[in-house]
Amino acid sequence: MSRTFAAVVAHPDDDTFGVAGTVAVHADEPGFRFVLIHVTSGEAGSIADPALATRETLGQVREEEDRRSWIVLGREPDRHEWLRYPDHGVADAPFDELVGRIADILRDERPDVVSTFGPDGVTGHPDHIRVGEAASAAFHRVREEGGAGFRRLIHDAIPQSMLDRWNERLVADGHEPMDPAQLYQPRGVPDETIGLDVDTSAVADRVVAALREHRTQAGEVQDMSEEELLRLASSEHAVIAWPERTPGAPVLHDVFEGLD
């Protein structure tokens, strides 16, 4: 059986945080195909160490960090597309053109499942929110044309209870809690809206190794202990955006579960 999974993200490292565990879980299945689309190269991001990149080279360096992260994870994408829209400028780019470019790749690949951001953008980042809108629109555009694939659309999400526990630990360790009202801080969705809860604990060490390859972005994880990172990498969650999930329906534990 062949199964194609496509992820559409904004920046290098969104993919590692969002879907690396799921990809690692399926890595060795012969029919598994993984398609990855990056809308930007992350050139407006932080530079943790000036020896790693300059403002001019950061986009190129982050593309390379991302490629390395998949090598370290042990499963590279079968197809990896960089659309190279301006980082922090996706919301200002022509929306229909962005939808069209994503749709062209999805039409070519006919993925069974597409993963992207939901309206919360996980961190409220405007690039995340716009990429999620564009990828979701592209999914439906191609799905409505008819043909194979396009069975499920998922929106990456953090269950509120997980964020609450995370904040409790931060406060217990003497840190400030994260504030979801602030831009770029993680925000949760109500637990009952989570339709997919994937146990990635068996591959969590590889996901953490992949996260560490995003060296220019080391600030994102530098305060976290190995134990905390492993906990973070031990599960991946999503809202099932399409087909609409009946409230109270069983939570899925695999992206392809129930698709025959």
Q: Considering the rule CB under 5 A, would residue 14 count as an interface residue with Zn ion?
A: yes
User: Stretches 2-10, 76-84, 143-151, 187-195: which one binds Zn ion (CB under 5 A)?
Assistant: 2-10
Asked if 87 interacts with Zn ion (CB under 5 A), we say: no
**Choice between 3 and 214, CB closer to Zn ion:** 214
Closest CA to 239 of 183, 186, 192, 184: 192
Toward Zn ion, which CB reaches closer, 11 or 237? 11
- Close Cβ partners of 144 (under 8 Å, ≥ 6 residues apart): none
Residues 148-187 contacting Zn ion, CB under 5 A: none
| Host H or E run for residue 9 | strand 3-9
By CB under 5 A, is residue 11 in contact with Zn ion? yes
Which residues 6+ apart lie within 8 Å of 195 measured at CB?
154, 238, 239, 240, 245, 249, 251, 252
- Stretch of 12-20, 54-62, 216-224, 248-256 contacting Zn ion, by CB under 5 A: 12-20
- Give the DSSP H or E segment for 241: strand 235-242
Contact window for Zn ion (CB under 5 A) among 7-15, 44-52, 62-70, 75-83: 7-15
Shortest distance (Å) from residue 122 CB to Zn ion: 8
CB-CB contact of 190 with 226 (8 Å): no
Binding-site ranges for Zn ion (CB under 5 A): 10-11, 14
